Amino acid sequence: MKKSLVCLSVLASVVGAVHAEEAPAVTSNLTLTTKYKYRGQDQSNSDKTVAPALQGGFDYSKNGFYVGNWNSSIGFVSGTDLEMDFYGGYKGQITPDFGFDVGALRYQYPQGAVFNTTELYGAVSWSIVTAKLSYTVSKRYFGIEEARGTLYADLSANYELVKGVTLNAHLGATRFSDDAHDAVAAAGGTLANYVDYKVGATYDIGSGFSAAAAYAGGNKKDAWGDVNKGRLIVSITKAM
């Protein structure tokens, strides 16, 4: 117990020192993309290769603590055309190469409350690699009932190839809770755990603008259909 308290005290002092002089910061972003995919699945019309989405949000941070909001137009269900995400947490650096991030994220659908979802997450980063685990605490997971305990694992890497050009790679895995599998089976359906991927590159244009191109999708298309189909996605972002 005492050793643990000493370690926590040292950790707190290190993290505190990192953030001691940090001034409050407010940033915002705006993105236009040819298609919105999340965790490998289409959030816009799956029948079209190009289904543009407008996205944007803001973040406030101070001394490692942060809150933010991000929004996107969507089209995966008729009558539901807006996703609003609200999140907050704490992040810090233990060493210049090793960092961490813990927080909570709420996905809100004003026109489709059945899809509302809440997750807790924790992440660690080492150099160019980040590993993150998200845990569903809400009863539903994007409309799937009895999904509390659903897990999403995310491994991502970003490597600056040359000045202004960064290669991006991501691999994720969704594991639905046993209760979610049972609920879907009871309704006469099947629920498949799946893996998703994304590979691409980002180019820093300058003046806060960046352009990105990526190929993203997921497996188990026999269970999920075109929603998991691989797509080429192009986007442009303005950071402010």
Domain assignments of the chain as residue spans, ordered by start? 23-239
Q: Outline where the chain has alpha helix (H).
A: 2-19, 178-186, 221-224
Helix, strand, or coil (residue 13): helix
- Contact present, 62 and 22 (Cβ < 8 Å): yes
- Contact present, 174 and 180 (Cβ < 8 Å): no
Quote the strand ranges of 127-208, DSSP E.
129-136, 151-162, 165-175, 194-206
Residue 21 pLDDT: 59
Using a pLDDT cut of 90, give the percent of the chain over it.
82
Residue 44 pLDDT: 84
- Residue among 18, 10, 26, 34 at smallest CA distance from 232: 34
Structure confidence at residue 3 as a pLDDT band (50, 70, 90): very low
CATH 1.10.10.10: does it fit domain 23-239? no
- Residue among 206, 199, 113 at smallest CA distance from 163: 206
pLDDT, average across residues 67-72: 98
Report pLDDT digits (tens) over 225-236: 999 999 999 999
pLDDT, average across residues 132-152: 98
pLDDT, average across residues 70-83: 90
d(CA 58, CA 235): 18
Structure confidence at residue 222 as a pLDDT band (50, 70, 90): confident
Q: Has residue 55 got a pLDDT over 70?
A: yes
Q: Has residue 106 got a pLDDT over 80?
A: yes
Mean pLDDT of the chain: 91
Helix, strand, or coil (residue 190): coil
- Contact present, 23 and 47 (Cβ < 8 Å): no
Q: Has residue 115 got a pLDDT over 50?
A: yes
Q: Has residue 29 got a pLDDT over 50?
A: yes
